[in-house]
């Protein structure tokens, strides 16, 4: 539960170099802007005053507006926003982040919705740090970004279940094996690529690469 004093959340006990991170979420039933429900991976550098890596799922408000973002070496701005076809407050849905040295993939109910390939050879920043897995519910202080909270509907309660990590703990030097195959597969298959393409055509409402000027700011948008 959260109020205007702040928010609440939880995190993994250790950091991971790569992995498949899974969480089932049921959103608050009260409809409002300004409330942010987040499931994300983050390095512990942010509060230390040095550059950090971060991979985000963020619900902006409680009406199925889902944003993804990627920070690499403290540089973000890679937002893509989707309007989900279902009401995420009616039941639990599964959200997953696949983080590997080759790529990052976001999944909703086992459907890939976004893939970000490691193209550091082209000068494109890519997360490389060990990351914590975290989830939180908080209030945005930016009305422009997330809208204003309707406190007449408070309290706002989000439910989490089946928090699961299949991955390589930091410093363990995991090698690819059948046990780790869910998160070491090198690329998406044809069926997954088709599912992702169809999902994006129907539900993608904002893409940073389509914003004016970003074709020059972000090499992957060119």
Catalytic residue numbers read: 54, 58
Instruction: Using the structure block, give the residue that is written with the tokens 């090698």.
Output: 175
Instruction: Identify the H or E element spanning 82.
Output: strand 80-83
Q: What are phi and psi of 34, to 5 degrees?
A: 85, -20
Residues whose CB is less than 8 angstroms from the CB of residue 180 and which lie 6 or more positions away in sequence, other chains included: 166, 167, 168, 174
Peptide bond into 155 cis (omega under 30): yes
- Residue at token pair 């975290």: 134
Structure tokens at 27: 């959103």
**How does strand 80-83 pair with strand 8-11?**
unpaired
Closest among 123, 168, 131 to 53, alpha carbons compared:
131
Q: Can you tell me the distance from the alpha carbon of 79 to that of 100, in angstroms, rounded to the nearest whole number?
A: 20
Q: What's the rounded Cα separation, in Å, for the pair 111 and 96?
A: 9
């Amino acid at each position: 539960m959260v109020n205007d004093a702040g928010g609440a959340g939880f995190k993994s006990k250790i950091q991971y170099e790569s992995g498949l991170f899974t969480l089932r979420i049921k959103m608050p039933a009260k409809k409002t802007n300004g409330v942010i429900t987040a499931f994300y991976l983050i390095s512990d550098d942010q509060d230390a005053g040095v550059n950090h890596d971060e991979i985000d799922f963020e619900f902006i408000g409680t009406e199925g507006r889902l944003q993804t973002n990627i920070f690499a070496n403290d540089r973000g701005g890679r937002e893509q926003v989707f309007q989900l076809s279902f009401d995420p407050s009616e039941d639990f849905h599964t959200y997953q982040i696949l983080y590997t040295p080759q790529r990052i993939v976001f999944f909703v109910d086992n459907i890939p919705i976004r893939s970000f390939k490691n193209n550091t050879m082209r000068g494109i920043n890519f997360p490389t740090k060990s990351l914590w897995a975290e989830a939180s519910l908080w209030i945005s202080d930016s009305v422009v970004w997330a809208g204003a909270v309707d406190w007449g509907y408070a309290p706002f309660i989000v439910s989490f279940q089946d928090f699961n990590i299949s991955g390589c703990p930091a410093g363990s030097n995991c090698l690819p094996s059948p046990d780790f195959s869910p998160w070491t597969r090198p690329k998406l298959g044809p069926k997954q690529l088709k599912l992702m393409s169809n999902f994006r055509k129907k539900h993608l409402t904002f893409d940073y690469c389509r914003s004016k000027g970003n074709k020059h700011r972000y090499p992957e948008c060119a």
